[in-house]
Amino acid sequence: MRRLLIGGNWKMNNGIEETIKFASGIKERKLSTEGIDVFVAPPFTSLPEAVRSFKGTGIRVGAQNIFWEDEGAYTGEISSVFLKELGVEWVIIGHSERRTYFGETNAAVRKKIEKALQKQLKVVICIGETEEEREAGRAKEVVEKQIEEGLLGIEYREENLAVAYEPVWAIGTGKTPHPEEAQEMHSIIREKLGNKGDGIRIMYGGSVKVHNIKEFITQEDIDGALIGGASLDIGGFVEMINVAKEI
Ligand code: PGA
């Protein structure tokens, strides 16, 4: 049995004050995460506070990106060594916004994953096709290529790596694939992952909300959700965690 994994990708939201408020809101609601894994990924500057504030809540802390070197002349970048030093556990790599706005390629994604795993950070690699690619009937091909070039051949333990399938056209749009369509892609992804596929968690991401999370995470090959916009609402996030706990 794969443990469900729920991630809140805060993107460029929630500074230090809001992070403190969020964590207190979680504590007030006496959330339990028993039986599942949960993390939030705040922006870099909120990470130290997040590590402090979420202690004891069952919610782990992740980053939204790293650079693939340990240190040196890389202006503006953040190394996995610094994240480890902070007590960060997870890192999201290859999010479509990084690929689109910052030109991240599969080759860059691969280097980042190798480094993160080497430093004992747990990785969520994001993959997914654009609307154009989907309409051209290339979704499967694109996703398989992202796995091949970004991931295959890297050594990892199954519990330290998760894949998030996030169709780009579903991110922040309110549009989603039908849960069965997502399931189909997840099973293709699992097959592509080869003999380790069975133990790896494959999350769905893209307009996951309180009202639709259940239909996604009850699919056979969907092992959790990466939630953007809807994870910023404390009440909603707690509700979604509770839905996952019931499964
Ligand atoms: P969304 O974002 O839930 O706001 O669609 C998901 C993501 O980008 O991870």
3-state SS, residue 5: strand
Tokens of 193: 């992952």
Q: Probe ligand 1: pick from 165, 209, 227, max atoms within 8 Å of CB?
A: 227
3-state secondary structure string across 89-156: CEEEECCHHHHHHCCCCHHHHHHHHHHHHHCCCEEEEEECCCHHHHHCCCHHHHHHHHHHHHCCCCCC
Residue 196 C-alpha to ligand 1 middle, in angstroms? 26
Distance separating alpha carbons of residues 3 and 200, to the nearest angstrom? 10
Q: How far is the CA of 166 from the centre of ligand 1 (A)?
A: 8
Q: Is 87 in the pocket of ligand 1 (CB under 6 A)?
A: no
Residue 42, ligand 1, Cβ within 6 A = no
| 242, 29 contact by CB (below 8 A) | no
What is the predicted pLDDT for the residue at 197?
86
Residues 86-104 have pLDDT tens digits of 999 999 999 999 999 999 9
pLDDT score recorded for residue 31: 93
Indicate if ligand 1 lies below 6 Å from the C-beta of 205. yes
Residue 166 known to be catalytic = yes
DSSP string, 176-231: ---HHHHHHHHHHHHHHTGGGGGGSEEEEESS--TTTHHHHHTSTT--EEEESGGG
Instruction: Answer whether 103's CB lies under 8 Å from 136's CB.
Output: no
Cβ–ligand 1 contact at 229 (below 6 Å)? yes
Judge whether 33 and 240 are in contact, CB under 8 Å.
no
How high is the pLDDT of residue 148? 97
Closest residue by Cα to residue 89 from 160, 166, 163, 15: 160
Q: Is the CB of 9 under 6 A from ligand 1?
A: yes
Task: Give the closest residue (by CA) to ligand 1 atom 1.
Answer: 228
Q: CB neighbours of 93 closer than 8 A, spacing ≥ 6? A: 65, 66, 109, 112, 113, 116, 123, 124, 125, 126
Give the position, in ligand 1's atom list, of the atom nearest the Cα of 227.
3
* Catalytic annotation, pick one of 49, 95, 97, 133: 95
Low pLDDT (below 70) residues in the chain: none
Ligand 1: which of 98, 171, 208, 237 to mutate, most ligand atoms within 8 Å of CB? 171
Give, in order, the Cα–Cα distances in Å from 35 to each of 3, 14, 55, 115, 245.
7, 27, 18, 29, 7
Q: Tell me, what's the pLDDT at 217? A: 98
Q: What is the pLDDT of residue 180?
A: 98
Nearest partner of 156 among 191, 106, 203, 195, judged by Cα: 195
Question: Which residue among 104, 166, 173, 211 is best mutated to probe the pocket of ligand 1, counting the most ligand atoms within 8 A of its Cβ?
Answer: 166
Residue 95 annotated to the active site:
yes
Radius of gyration of the chain from its Cα atoms, rounded to whole angstroms: 17
